[in-house]
Amino acid sequence: MRSMTGYSKEYFENDMYAISLEIKSVNNKNLNLKIKSPHMLNFLENKIRTEVASRVTRGSIDLKIEFQDKREVDNLFEYDKNMTASYLKVLNSIESEYNEKFSNKLDLLIKNLNVIRRNDLEIDEKDYENFVIKNLHLLLDSFIEMKESEGIRMKNYFLQCINIIEKNVQEIKKLKENIVLNYKEKLLERLSKITDLEFNDESLLREILLFTDKSDISEEVSRLESHLCQLKIELESTNTGVGKKIDFILQEIFRELNTSGVKCNLYDISKLIVECKNEIEKIREQALNIE
């Protein structure tokens, strides 16, 4: 199980290239990937998206890439000799014609006349791709390791909550037998206070049986135990995309608790159900961050 929240930053270089990679993510229902990279790597964007999507299924992800071709450093700029010579010839002519000297002709050439330009080196796209994708894999390894570490922390927290719920469910199973008994005692007590009403054991039995049918939560308790068992199985799953499954199971557990709360007529059980709901809400809040 992984968290959707994660962060990693790595730097790699060899004799030819250097790259800085930074990735961070927060929760999102689907995969939303934003990539910020140099113009020279635009041809790799689809490949990068495919690589990330193959390792991560959900989350809002920001990926920042800074790349340097170290071969550019020595021959990154050059000046246009012909253009420089032409400009100097014109500047010299201006000086002669107006009998004035420019204070710094070279400074004028560089700042205003664009005689220096950046070289456009040929890009070996295959070399770029091999270097970038190889190191992207290493970045994703550390990124996922952090997400899994956070996932373990969440799983342990969920198991603590589930343990409380399971204990309460066991108490509910013991107490549910008292629902009918409690109702029978209260019914007899009320009937004993009414003097002008005749009733017999058969009508009393019919009323108790009707209440028993309406207040029976045996099926709800059985389904609760089944859902809790399935929830623990999903928490141990190493598959990605379990977040949606866990959310569905939590909804089912909450539905069974609601039904049990409506059907039962015993304060002690109602109190236990409220405690279970509180634990489910704690899980649901954190489960929004499961990938």
When pLDDT is cut at 50, 70 and 90, the band that residue 210 belongs to is low
Mean pLDDT value across residues 174-185? 67
Top pLDDT among 18 and 243 is at: 18
Residue 98 has pLDDT above 80, yes or no: yes
Residue 168 has pLDDT above 70, yes or no: yes
pTM of the model: 0.67
When pLDDT is cut at 50, 70 and 90, the band that residue 254 belongs to is very high
Q: What is the pLDDT of residue 76?
A: 56
Q: What is the pLDDT of residue 279?
A: 96
pLDDT more than 70, % of the chain: 80
Q: Using H for helix, E for strand and C for coil, what is the string for the chain?
A: CCECCEEEEEEEECCCEEEEEEEEEECCCCEEEEEECCHHHHHHHHHHHHHHHHHCCCEEEEEEEEEEEHHHCCCCEEECHHHHHHHHHHHHHHHHHHCCCCCCHHHHHHHHCCCEEECCCCCCHHHHHHHHHHHHHHHHHHHHHHHHHHHHHHHHHHHHHHHHHHHHHHHHHHHCHHHHHHHHHHHHHHHHCCCCCCCCHHHHHHHHHHHHHHHCCHHHHHHHHHHHHHHHHHHCCCCCCCHHHHHHHHHHHHHHHHHHHHHCCCHHHHHHHHHHHHHHHHHHHHHCCEC
When pLDDT is cut at 50, 70 and 90, the band that residue 74 belongs to is low
Residue 82 has pLDDT above 90, yes or no: no
Q: What is the pLDDT of residue 77?
A: 63
